[in-house]
Amino acid sequence: MKVLFAAPDHNWSKWAPVLQKTCPEIELTRDGDPAEIEAIIYAPGGEIEDLSPYVNARLVQSLWAGVERIVTNPTLTQPLARMVDPGLTEGMAEYCTGWAMRAHLGMDIYAQDGVWRNSVTPPLARDRNVTVLGMGELGRAVAAMLRGIGFRVTGWSASGRPVEGIETLGGGDLDIALARAEILVTLLPDTPQTRGLMDARRLATLPRGAWLINPGRGTLLDDQALLASLDRGHLGHAVLDVFHQEPLPKDHPFWAHPRVTVTPHIAAETRPETGAVVVAENLRRAARGQTLLHLVDRTRGY
């Protein structure tokens, strides 16, 4: 099976050895006759953006969990699969849990300035409400880890599909989910329906002093509405890992805001060692004509 590696140069040295070891039966190439290519491994920024010549490709396998950069490509006619990497999922759950614990325990009040601040005892996790927006693979993993600590977790997704062990709301119950969220974790995909979803009205629905943790998509937030909510003291803090423009410009007000923590899109990364197993399985399924894993629904965009 001849497989085209259509990803930026820096990905080749990380991925090629692991892929060839995990799936030795494939011929992994960076060029060649498009008619001979049977599958494409894709990440944005590579040289190949016109997919129309690859008429015999039975799979386009994304190396990214998010597919918004390719799903709208008009030349894409092949089946598209997103990356569901166990290592990425674990990393996302750990990131969200770490920052949720910082919010929950009020770690920021303990300045090392000689002042003995023992007037406030944080509640136990079982008395703290956390809402997770987006109950896909990542959202379910985050919700499960937070629930395991003891937090009262509410999930929300557009479909409201039940998730075992987590109260999950859907559709028109978004405001109910937000009103509970002393800590809000946002893991929704980037779609026309989610862009700007957290606007001034919805931010105002959150309890006063709530923390917002967004490692999902920067397009979810109205940046100016978020800054205004933080400035007037309605929101307590925002932890932001994703942005409308990346890298975040040096003069962006998020950098200097005392109630914003910026992390540089590091919440979760696809790891070649674990991601290659997923890619190999899908390549073998494509070669055998079997059902592919993690196919993207192009009408929903994820």
Q: What is the spatial distance between Cα 277 and Cα 96, in angstroms, rounded to a whole number?
A: 25
Q: What is the pTM (predicted TM-score) of this model?
A: 0.90
Around 126, how many Cα atoms within 13 Å sit in the side-chain half-sphere?
A: 0
Which residue in 82, 128, 147, 217 is the catalytic one?
Answer: 217
Residues 63-94 pLDDT 10s: 999 899 999 999 999 999 999 999 999 999 99
Structure token pair of residue 97: 């849990």
Is 252 catalytic? The answer is: no
Cβ count near 166 (within 10 Å): 17
Is 265 catalytic? The answer is: yes
Cβ count near 202 (within 10 Å): 17
Please measure the distance between the N-terminal and C-terminal CA atoms of the chain and give it in whole angstroms.
27
Determine, yes or no, domain membership for 227: yes
97 and 79 assigned to the same domain: no
Cβ count near 193 (within 10 Å): 12
Counted domains in the chain: 2
Give the pLDDT mean for 21-43: 97
228 and 149 assigned to the same domain: yes
Q: How confident is the model at residue 301 (pLDDT cuts 50, 70, 90)?
A: confident
The residue among 246, 293, 237 whose CA lies nearest residue 267 is: 246
Structure token pair of residue 126: 């079982």
Contact 70, 42 (CB under 8 A): yes
Asked if residue 11 has pLDDT above 90, the reply is: yes
36 and 133 assigned to the same domain: no
CATH number, residue 143: 3.40.50.720
Residues 147-170 pLDDT 10s: 999 999 999 999 999 999 999 999
Determine, yes or no, domain membership for 300: no
Which residue in 234, 265, 271, 284 is the catalytic one?
Answer: 265
Q: What is the spatial distance between Cα 270 and Cα 273, in angstroms, rounded to a whole number?
A: 9
Structure token pair of residue 219: 């397009």
251 and 280 assigned to the same domain: no
- 28-55 residues labelled b (16+ CB within 10 A) or e (exposed): beeeeebeebbbbbbbbebebeebeebe
Q: Residue 172: give the domain boundaries.
A: 86-262
Asked if residue 300 has pLDDT above 90, the reply is: no
Report how far Cα 175 is from the mean position of its chain's Cα atoms. 22
278 and 137 assigned to the same domain: no
Amino acid identity of residue 69, one-letter, is: R
